[in-house]
Structure 1
Amino acid sequence: MVCWKTRGSSWSMRRRSVAACRGAPRRGRGCERSRHPGGCGLCSRAMKTVQFSRLGEPADVLEVQEVPTPAPGPGQVRVRLTARAIHPSDLMNVRGLYGRPPPLPFCPGNDAAGTVDAVGPEVKGFKVGDRVMLLLGATGGRGTWMEQVVVPAQMLVPTPAALSDAQAGALWVNYLSIWVMAVELLQVPQGGLLLQTAAGSQLGRAMMELARLRGFGLVNVVRRREQAEELKALGAENVVCTADERLPERVRALTGGKGVHWAIDAVGGTTGAQVVESLAVGGRCLLFGALDGRAISLEPGPVLFKELVIQGFWLTRWLQATPPERVRPVLETIIGHAVRGDFKPAIDQSFPLAQVKEAVVRAETPGRTGSVVLVP
C-alpha cells in the first residue's frame, strides 16, 4: 500500500562527522552498527550531483559537482539512486521556461528509483537494501539527478518486482499525468474520443495504453511525418500529422462534423490553436506544455459561443492542491497496472550521471524509443 501522509516534504543536506553518526566511534574509524554496512553510509564524505548555476541550454549549463552526502534524520531514509528519467519538463526547467524559475544553483529531476542505503531513527517499513521508488515531490523540489537523496519515509514506495529500476525511475511523471488529466479531470468515458498532441512522446504513448485499458478512443496528433509512421506501425488509431493536413478538418470528418469533447495539448502555437478549433460545443482542453514556444492565437467568437473551457494543467499544482486521501488511491492504481503489465514504461538509453550532457542531447533527439535514464 502506498503511504502518503504529507502534501509536501523537505530535506536538508547536513555536514556530519563520523562521530556524529549513531554507532560511530569518536575517533572516526567508521560506523560499527550493522544498520549502516560497508563502513558508515551515513558518514560518507561527498557525492556527485548534477547542477546548473545559470539558465540556458542543458548541454551547455549542466555540470557534475561534488557536495556533502546528506544524512537521514528521524523519519527519513537515504536512497542510493539507480535510475532517474529525463523528462521535457526537466529540460524546460533548466532553460527557465517551466513553472517558477528555480533557485540557483539547482539540481534537476523528479522521477527516480534506487536502493535504501541508510535509515534514520523512527523509520519503520524500510531497511537497507530495499528497492524503492520516490514519490513525486519526495525531495522537496531539490531534484533527483544526484547519487543519493534523503527523503521522508512516507515519500517512498517499494519497487514492484515486475519493474526494472529504469522503468521504476520513469513511471510517475508520465503515468500520473495521463491518469489525472484523462480520468480525474476530463473524466473521458468509455467510448469517448480524446484528442492528444505530441502523441509520439512517451506521455503520448502512455496515454495509448490508458485508452486501451479504459476503452476510449484517441485522435493522435504529431508534427513530423516520421512520428506518424512510427505510431501507425504501433497500431495507433486516427493518426494526424499537422505537416500534411489541418487538424480541424480531420476531426470533423471523424466526428460527423461535431468535433471532440476532450483534448490535451502539450504543443501550443499553431497546433494548439487548431486543437481549440477542433473542439465540440462545450468541449474542454487541458494545456500542459508549450513545446512550440509560441503563443496560441484564439478567435474569441468560437470560444464564447461554443462555451469552450481551456484550462492549464500542472501536475505539481495538482499534487499540492489535492488531499492525500484522493492522491493515494490514484498512486495505488497506477502501481497495480504497472505490476499487471498494463503500463510499460519504455526505456530508450541509459547514461551514467557523468555523461549528463550526452544524455540530455539524446533526450531531445527525434526517433527515441522510450525515456532516457541517468544511471550510476
Structure 2
Amino acid sequence: MQIPLINLKKQYETIREDVDKNVLRVFSSAQYIMGENVKQFEKEFGEYIGVKHSISVGNGTDALVIALKALGIGEGDEVITTPFTFFSTAESISTVGAVPVFVDVRRDTFNIDPAEIEEKITSKTKAIIPVHIFGQPADMDEINEIAQRYNLKVLEDACQAVGAEYKHKKTGALGDIACFSFFPTKNLGCAGDGGMIVTDDDNLAVVCRALRTHGSGENGQKAYNFLNGINEEVEEDKSEDNTVYNPLKYYNYLIGYNSRLDEIQAAVLRVKLPLLDGWNDKRRKNAEFYNRNLSGTKLTIPHEDDYVKHVYHMYMLQSERREELVEFLKENGIATGIYYPVPLHLQKAYINLGYKEGSLPNAEYLSKRTFAIPMFAELTDEEKKYIVEKLKEFDE
C-alpha cells in the first residue's frame, strides 16, 4: 500500500465537476485579474472568518509582508515571533527591514509560549506574530493582553489554521490583522499560489489594498490621504475590466507590490470554501482515530488545548527514534514529513542574530523529534488502520 502525506488528487475527484465548470467560466469571461470571483471570494471568506475586510493577495508570504508594511513596521523595528514555523514568518519581518526576535515554544502545542514573550520586549518592539502552527491556535488571550500592556500590534500567522477556533472564535479574528495561505497543501488550498489578509480595521484594509497593487488607484489615494492626514473625498473606482485596461492604475501614491489573487484561483477557492468545515471535521476524526490507537505506544501524540478547535493541517508525532521510524514507514509505503528540522533561530540566514544551540531549547528539542504522518479528509479506514499497524509494529 502507498499512502501519501496529502492526497490532492483524491480531493480534486470529489469536486471535479464544480471546479472545472467554474474555471471554464473564467476562461470564457476573459476577466482574469481582480474580477467578480475575487470580489465574491473576498466577501465570502470575510463572512466565514467573521471580519469586516478581506484582501486577497498572491500568496501567504506576500500577505505577511504587506500586513507588516500596513502596520508601519520597518527599518530598526523588532517583531517577536516563534522559531518553530516555516521560514516565511521570519523572512517577512526581515523583508520590511525589521528584526525577528525569537521566543521559545510550548513543547505540547508547538506554539509560541506567552510566558517567554515579556522578557524579549524592548523599546524597539512593535508587534508580535503568533503562528497557529499545524492548525492549533496559539494562546491568544495572553498574547493580546501582553500586546495591549506594551502598545504592540498582533499579527496572526494563520496560514496553517484556516477554520480553526480559539474559544469559539475563528483564527483570523483574534488580533489586529491576520494572514492566510492558500498553497495547495493547506486545508483550504487553491491550484497554485494564493493568500489573504483579514482585519476589522478600516484604515489597515485600505493600506493593504493599496500596497497589493503598486500603491495605485482609488485605494492608493485613500491610503496616501490616511497616512498623510489629508481629509478629502476620493472618487470611487468603477472600472470593471482590470485585465485589459484600468486607467486608475497609472496614478501611484505609495511604493507597493504586485500581489494579486487571480480569478482562476478565486474560482477554485469558491468551490472549496463551503466544504472546508466538513473537511476539517474529517481531519479531526482522523486525528481522534490516531490518538485512540497510538496512545499506548512510545510515541508522543499531539496535545489539543481544551479551549481550541484544532484543524490538523498536519498530524504531528514525536519519537526518540525519528530517523529510523521515518525510514521504516517509507519502506512500507507510508509518506512522512519532518517539520522543521532546523528551527529558525539556527538557520544560516539568521546567523548574524547571535543565537546558539541551546538558546531556545524547546524548539530545538522538537526539531529533532517531530514528524508528520498522512492527514487529509479523504483518508480511508483501511489506510488509517495500516498506518497505525505499522507504527505499532515498529514500536514493539
**TM superposition score normalised by structure 1:** 0.28
The structure with the greater share of residues assigned to strand is: 1
Where relative contact order (Cα < 8 A, 6+ residues apart) is larger, the structure is 2
The structure with the greater share of residues assigned to helix is: 2
**TM superposition score normalised by structure 2:** 0.27
